[in-house]
Structure 1
């Protein structure tokens, strides 16, 4: 057992069984599914999300069915409408639809399969791309922390056991196993920032800093640790300020702690994150809120934050019509 890929699989142990592997048919998820099925025969299922965004999507599903038949793995397919709304990132819309589909497949218990653990094939190159994408957008600590190796989402344990393995090493493992995979044609589309990072920046980093994957991973770990501390502080502050936040109590905190608390409240209670500009505007309004008649009504994420009496409330805006890619 010499390869980084094999060591990563050996070190991986999900908390609950059976284990579902998010299976797109690409090289990374194919390798992860095959390795998990080999290590835990009869205890692994495959989740495939049919996004419906490409003409080839039906072919992707058929390929996944053929691969699962060969591996002796049950395949569960969920079809979603992953089209993005106007002004929304197509990648973000597809990602949200995908995670919602995982949760739905886990809840449905199709074929008597009740799932609580899902493994995804994100690897070291994906992690670097996520970090660079966050930097390009001026992200804070949550963005710089990139993707966690283990997280809870929609009641599921989400695992990424390959974050320490380079994409090339995964394909090397696949090469000797006569397993075919799909090359998603959108991976070559230069309209997507992530694809430009992959094709231009990663080769340059490889040449200039051969150990960049390991060093970037350390920076990601530091950011994740710092964010954990901020989350713990926000949870403590939220206990005293209340949920929804009482404005007068919120005003007793420093601006930085107000920002930290409001981000935490919006994410934990409403599953949304404000932009930097939206949060700054909200903080200005909280500071100016010194009279009973002061009105607060601000766009935040997909909804609005309003003052109602002594408290701040967030409510969702009516959804915009979706547009196709």
Structure 2
């Protein structure tokens, strides 16, 4: 094995089978699917998400079918409505829809045995873009950790075996196999920050710091390791303060540990995350809560943090969606 792509694929060994590959028809997912099909013939399924956001979406699906026929791979397709709500990021809406679609396809009969793992074609350039996006937004460690090489989500295990491989190396391997791919026209749309990073910042970084992909990826790995330690500490502190947290016990912790355990509690118990400003306000109120009459009622994410007796509670301000029968 000589190339970075081939070395990465040789080292890829999913711990959970059966395996699917997220397959958009683009260069990265095509290379990953072809390499997996070559290594594990007859054991890999392709998952294609039809977002319906472009007029060419049907053509994308047709292209994927032809490639899968050539590779001898079963293709499972799921159509989603990935339109974003007003005020939401279109990229985030599409990403959420995609993960939900993967979970749905993993349970479909067309996938054969229930899929346990999904491999995704994100590579080193994607990892750098994600890190730079996080920096531009003032993200904390979870954001600076960028994309994990392995992570459980929606009952599946997601693997990204190409995070250390430059995008150019992935395409070079693909060209050598004479496999076709499609170019998503939105990848050149300058309205998206990620595309501006790709077209402007990455070439400048390559000129100033030729090894930036390796060093940035290493920094993201360090951030991910530090975040794991913070999660372990938060879990221990949550055992101490309780769920919901007892305010007096919270006050025995340092402000940094209060912030850490409250973020962990909000995400683990309520699936929500406060902004930095909201968390600062909440910490100020926890510190000031020294009398029985002190009231806490603060906007936090889509709901409110509120004092009820000796405890801190959170409730969702949005009404539950109506179920159609």
Q: Structure 1: which 5+ runs fail to align?
A: none
How far 1:212 moved relative to its partner?
0.6
Give the corresponding residue for 2:232: 232
SS at match of 1:295: coil
Using a 3 Å threshold, how does the CA distance of structure 1 residues 14 and 319 change in structure 2: closer, same or farther?
farther
Match of 2:71 in 1: 71
Count of equivalent residues = 321
Q: TM-score, normalised by structure 2?
A: 0.94
Paired residues of 2:122 and 2:163 also in contact (CA < 8 A): yes
Question: Contact 2:45–2:111 at 8 Å: present in 1 too?
Answer: no
Moved runs in structure 1, 4+ residues, more than 4 A? none
Matched residue, 2:44: 44
RMSD of aligned alpha carbons: 1.7
For residues 227-280 of structure 1, the C-alpha deviation after alignment (integer angstroms, 9 at most, x for no partner) is: 111111101000001112122211211111010001111222222221111111
Instruction: Please identify, of 298-307 and 257-266, the stretch whose mean Cα deviation from structure 2 is larger.
Output: 298-307
Q: CA deviation at 1:55?
A: 1.7
| 2:76–2:111 contact (8 Å) kept in structure 1 | no
Q: 2:74 touches 2:111 (CA, 8 Å); kept in 1? A: no
5+ unaligned residues in a row in structure 2: which ranges? Answer: none
After TM superposition, the score normalised by the length of structure 1 is 0.94
Q: What does residue 247 of structure 2 align with?
A: 247
In structure 2, the residue matched to 1:96 is 96
Residue pair 2:105, 2:111 contacting (<8 A) in 1 also? no
1:180-191 equivalence runs, <5 A: 180-191=180-191
- Give yes or no for contact 2:130–2:146 (8 Å, CA) kept in 1: yes
Relative to structure 2, which stretch is displaced further, 56-65 or 137-146? 56-65
Residue 300 of structure 1: how far off its partner (Å): 2.2
Distance 2:20 2:298 in 1: 41
Shift of residue 85 of structure 1? 1.9
Q: Which moved more, 1:12-21 or 1:57-66?
A: 57-66
2:116 counterpart residue number: 116
User: Which runs of structure 2 are paired with 1:51-70 in the superposition (5 Å)?
Assistant: 51-70=51-70
What is the correspondence of 1:209-228 to structure 2 with a 5 Å cutoff?
A: 209-228=209-228
Residues 17 and 43, structure 1, Cα contact 8 Å, conserved in 2? no
Whether contact under 8 Å (1:305, 1:313) holds in the other structure is yes
**Whole-Å Cα distance in 2 between the matches of residues 28 and 313 of structure 1?**
44
